[in-house]
Amino acid sequence: MNTVVTSKEEILKASRQLIQQQGWSAVNIRAVAAACGVSVGAIYNYFDSKAALVCAAVESVWCEIFHPPEDHAVFQDTQVCIAWMYGRMEYGCRQYPGFFTLHSMSFMQEEKSDGKKRMKQTWQHILDGLCAVLKRDERIRADAFTEQFTVERFADVLFSLMLSALLRQEYNLEAVLEIVRRTLY
């Protein structure tokens, strides 16, 4: 058995494959070591516990799903960005069945504080990205936002709609785009 893993990314790739094939609950030190063809100790060189491995694997899945597109024009137009995000959510559901639902339910438990913290960081990154797109979108009416109805509040509404779509696995993109059109343009 090979006891040298060439990179942390190989471990995360094997973990993502396990999640795709068996669900994310299949990710544990022994299963990942077997998938990588290495000893259990080799995995511990990179992750000090199963919890650390699972957290990194979940973060890795989020990064794969929402990997930035090559065409950065996506982030100049709110409607195009939302369409891209919904497409990525559908991709994530196809590639990782049940991932979003199980991930959100599992990591919201109190004892999973590190996972909860990472999830909140990921979500904040997405929210910040939505705010940036809203601020760059030149087609938005000048009076669309006020002191009470801010870019941040609207981004939060959009993100809530996206999370709801993820959990229900119902991607009614046209309804969300209609909300954007009626509110901003």
Query: Span 41-50, mean pLDDT?
Result: 93
70 shares a domain with 50: no
Residue 120: pLDDT above 70? yes
115 shares a domain with 31: no
Taking the C-alpha atoms of residue 62 and residue 98, their distance in angstroms, rounded to an integer, is 13
3 is a domain residue? no
The domain of 101 spans 66-184
Query: What does residue 172 show for φ and ψ, rounded to 5 degrees?
Result: -90, 75
Task: State the chain's mean pLDDT as an integer.
Answer: 87
Number of domains observed in the structure of the chain: 2
- The CATH number that applies at residue 14 is 1.10.10.60
169 shares a domain with 105: yes
- pLDDT for 163: 84
